[in-house]
Amino acid sequence: MPDQHSEKKATNVHWHKGEVSRTDREQLLGQRGGTLWLTGLSGSGKSTIAVALEQRLHREGCLCYRLDGDNIRLGINNNLGFSAEDRTENIRRIGEICKLFVDASVLAISSFISPYREDRDNCRRLHEAAGLPFFEVYVNCELAVAEERDPKGLYRRARAGEIPDFTGISAPYEEPLNPDLELRSDLLSLDEEVEQLLSFLSQQGIRKL
């Protein structure tokens, strides 16, 4: 237990390598872990895609775990709000959790608006520094289409001024500059989206070994 006199609070700690390695776990499961990071506007279809992809991969025998704004916000991040600072901490923690799952050799599927480029890039860096696969998938849907869908009625409330800092309306969404995969969810069917993701994962060697 370190002292508390340095700037970085948790000091004098070292990564515990443990005797069972990530490679051992990958061999046990017959799969490589990785993070599939879906980003896009509210209503762009991230969660629908995540659920459909998870079903397909599970049927192939691939262990996935899906993290989304709703279940994470009710648990570990229930002490965070929606200010810019809290959004950044929200995404940071999620990136760290994905990294743990990948280290456990699970395919982590995260679906969060994650509007800030820097926050997403930080998650990528966290993974890359540990040699863990991270793929940014831009679920690209025109705002007008997402707003028309408005599955939770949130755009309507945001337009009415009832929700401050709503991404796409009163808060920015910073598009990925160089996503690993882009899905035009306003043009493609769900099946087409899932097929593109499955092909992508195969190319990356992430599906069953």
63 binds its own copies, rule: CB under 8 A = yes
> Where in the chain does DSSP place strands (E)?
34-39, 64-68, 107-111, 134-140, 181-184
Cα-flanking dihedrals φ and ψ of residue 96, to 5°? -65, -40
Q: Which two tokens stand for residue 165?
A: 């800092």
Q: Which residues are known catalytic residues?
A: 111
Q: In which element (H, E) is residue 37 found? A: strand 34-39
2 binds its own copies, rule: CB under 8 A = yes
Q: In this complex, which beta carbon is closest to its own copies, that of residue 95 or of residue 133?
A: 95
User: Residue 54 forms beta bridges with which residues?
Assistant: none
CA-CA-CA-CA dihedral for 190, 107, 141, 180, to nearest 10: -120
Angle formed by the axes of helices 46-59 and 190-203, to 10°? 60
- The answer to whether the CB of 171 falls within 8 A of the CB of 165 is yes
55 binds its own copies, rule: CB under 8 A = yes
Of 104-112, 173-181, 187-195, 196-204, the window that binds its own copies (rule: CB under 8 A) is: 104-112
205 binds its own copies, rule: CB under 8 A = no
Q: In this complex, which beta carbon is closest to its own copies, that of residue 22 or of residue 184?
A: 22
Q: Among 110, 114, 167, 185, which residue sits at the site for its own copies (rule: CB under 8 A)? A: 167
> Which residue ranges make up the site for its own copies (CB under 8 A)?
1-4, 8-10, 13-16, 18-20, 24-25, 28-29, 42, 47, 51-52, 54-55, 58, 61, 63-71, 73-83, 86, 89, 92-93, 96-97, 99-101, 103-106, 113, 126, 154, 157, 162-167
